[in-house]
Structure 1
């Protein structure tokens, strides 16, 4: 895995997000007008609020979460032009440049393993599970960070539909393998397909999210369309993209970067400034979108979500279980 470098995004390239920053006033105005307006779908209030970030389909019936309240979202163009998604290319800009190759319809997700109701669910049905989609503003940390206004479905509520059994100790995720739609897979850089895993209690935590969109629109290809994992208290490589398979397992599953370099990338991947990467410190990180090179901030334990998630790891040696 290459060492992360500062972003090369010029200030002149940043998309103006004035419409997004005024969203609270518009949402309040819409609520005052009554629920009937909200039910108008993308042609009504939702279209007025979320017109602007990009070219993707708007998501209607959004309800903003308290998670991340007070955090200023990273600009849309920064989020969508500075990405790690090897399946679509190996530079930070490559995923955006190659995103058109990723066709996300039709798309389905298979759920299997230690559960009473295994099955296959279409992406359109997944997006309809909650009539009120939720915006979550999460800070995602690697050697750089951003605050992303994700739209998605709580992972735990999705998984419960398949009735995991007592042997379901972990949840395994797998990315699409299709070199035609994912040109980066034509090179044997890793053992495709990409795989990730969570402990079942981590997966059921309300902060864990199956993201279907960002900035009020469906996910762009470079950000993991049409469905990706978001676990905001963990490092970014944990957030597997373009998911096609979810499996409940009794044994700890393989996760790709841990298999490639286990001394550098642990299974848990919890943000911890006291556990340095062998090739760089993790005490500080760059914030994407703040100037050409990004300003630096102190890295917080569990990415600032310690109050919410520290109990999951009570009694564990966080240096050993990194």
Structure 2
């Protein structure tokens, strides 16, 4: 197993071999963001700006305006923390910059909330012309890189630190905005993204023991296709969201806007991080926030049982 940041580093070198316009603007975190492989292969296309995300975003925007496809890589918390620079240089100019935010969610562990990417989706979702992508495994990461270099839209690529196993079969094809049904069930649709896909799959034995048969949906790109979400909601009548992100501003909010505008009534709930985060080992943090296998299964079970009591 590898982290999606590792798969990204390898895939970036592969696509850069076929696209001369791909360059990297680095923020002194090449080892952590896995851009050093690119530097070793294409040193003349690698620009080190140091610990200066704001400047890096401006440099990348200028490169994009000149026809390059620049990738700016840093921790997601640091990178999206330069929201003003992203808004001004990337958003307003519609610059084809790829903002690569690694260390999404709680998995950075003991480094704590000052470095956890827990509010990045909320920030990037406010920029209407920025496409957001968050892969669940290596295959999806590689396919996303192919998609990204074939267009010049402003992009936020969210990546995880923790190792993740492959969750897709050989026939999977990434389609931007399309909800990816990982596993088909009958009782309710559970939406998630990134590293939480694996957690949900591992929770299935516990859910089956409670008589719950969920559909698991990987929302790996935003904005999500409204018609597809509505179809899944109609099929299940109950929708739950699990995300390694603040409960506010993430995919819960993305889906809730769609569901509230449907004529049909759909029961909706969700779970994520309700405070600023804490510092501890990743395992302890996921347990504390009920985003480990047992916690997720318990949250979904309680939601499902509450539905039955309401009938």
TM-score, with structure 1 as normaliser: 0.26
Structure number having the greater helix percentage: 2
Greater RCO (Cα-Cα under 8 Å, separation 6 or more): 1
